Every structure is written in structure tokens, then in C-alpha cells.
Amino acid sequence: MTAPDLDLLRGTLDLLILKTLSWGPMHGLAVLRWIEDVTGQRLQIEEGALYPALHRMEQRGWLDAEWGYTERNRKAKFYRLTTHGRRQLTAELSKWSRYTEAVGLVLARQGAR
């Protein structure tokens, strides 16, 4: 397997986590694996970045969490979106759309003026 060649842009991890959890509750490692699988390993999330982000989003009220057991019968904290988290996802998707549109304008520009 080749090393990923893409780094996450600042602020995109929250969006990726919120979108991942929009499909239903998951424990942290499942969130990480889902993102990596969907991107064909192009994006790889470090556990050292994932768990602080999950805790931060839980503190902000975007996520609820409860302890449960994984498919391998290991105890894990499962996260799910709250109503506030769903609203935040909508806001983050809008922001991402505006960002990519603006970057697209710069990249499509022919000439300095």
C-alpha cells in the first residue's frame, strides 16, 4: 500500500467526522476506518487527531456518546450526531461548498487579470 499523499486541510476533520456520523452511531475506530475506506486510503486520520476532535465536538454539543461493545465484543465509546450536530453539519457543508467554489475560481483563472 502506498502512503497517502493528501493532508487534511485545517478544519476539514470536523466536517468528515460529522458526515461520517450522519449515517449512524459509530465508535471512534470505526469512524477512522470508514473515512479511510471511503477515500481508498487517500486520507488517513491519526488517532491522535481523531479522539481530541470527537471529545471537542462532544463538549460543543454536536455529539452524544455512550459506552457499548464493538462487533469484536470490545468496550468502546459510540458517538452519534445530536440535533445541534446535524445543524453544524449543514453549516460546515455550506462553508465547504463556498470554499471549494472560491478555490475553483482561482484555479480556473487564465492569466493574471
> Which pLDDT score, from 0 to 100, does residue 110 have?
84
Q: Which residues pair with 75 in a beta bridge?
A: 69
**Residue 28: closest CA among 8, 61, 58:** 58
**For residues 65 and 25, what is the distance between their CA atoms, to the nearest angstrom?**
9
Q: How many CB atoms lie within 10 A of CB 56?
A: 14
For the whole model, what pTM was predicted?
0.86
**For residues 37 and 40, what is the distance between their CA atoms, to the nearest angstrom?**
5
**Residue found under cell 487579470:** 113
> Which pLDDT score, from 0 to 100, does residue 7 have?
58
Q: Which residues pair with 76 in a beta bridge?
A: 68
State which residues of the chain have pLDDT below 50: 1
SS3 label, residue 111: coil
Domains in the chain and their CATH numbers? 12-107 (1.10.10.10)
